[in-house]
Amino acid sequence: DEVSFVPANRRDKDVATRVRMLPPGTVKLEETTEERYKGVVKRALKRSNKRSSTSGVSPTVNEGCIQLTLAEGEDPIEVTFREKDGSSAKESMATLRPHDVVEAAVTTDLRNNHKRATSIVIIERGVDPSEKREQGVVATIKDGFGFIRCAEREAQMFFHFSEVVAPSGADPLREGDEVEFTVKKKDGG
């Protein structure tokens, strides 16, 4: 519920007094641009597994950084992004990598003027000059993952759908589609 209140200090603690209900939509904490801006990922999200005393391992995600160009001729600005700042609620930004070209809106927190990229869409997968790109053909598609028959090696390569980058509205991958990819070793192996 949205409320208005008068802050007060009682016994060295900040408290809300004279609390009143407000109509929904009255309180505005963030403002998002309608304009969309093109940018480049400068820093990807970093995952770490920290032990929690109640639930064992819980992954934590830091903020990533995107350099956006707001207007032609102006210097780009750097804004943060979080895992859930994709263009839809189910789209994770955890697979964004440095050099990826993206399009995003800018959301400003009205309390502290912090800007972050939101509604992020990957336009083009950037290529890190140090990465070796390979090619192959999708051999098998399963529920949420698949295998690629590689052009340069005998082994088939596993991939998860979260790693597939395609323009918005593109057809889903199918067996027999030609693809380009980067091989990464699994963490810890």
pLDDT for the residue 187: 61
CB atoms within 10 A of CB 11: 5
SS3 139: strand
How high is the pLDDT of residue 42? 93
**pLDDT for the residue numbered 58:** 44
pLDDT tens for residues 75-99? 999 999 988 787 765 555 667 888 8
Per-residue DSSP letters for 37-67?
A: EEEEEEE---EEEEEETTTEEEEEE--EEEE
What is the CB neighbour count within 10 angstroms for residue 118?
Answer: 20
Q: Looking at residue 124, what is its pLDDT?
A: 84
Q: Return the number of other C-beta atoms located less than 10 Å from residue 105's C-beta.
A: 19
Q: How far apart are CA 183 and CA 26, in angstroms?
A: 49
Greatest C-alpha distance within the chain? 72
pLDDT value of position 53:
46
In this prediction, residue 55 carries a pLDDT of 45
Regions of the chain with pLDDT less than 50: 48-60
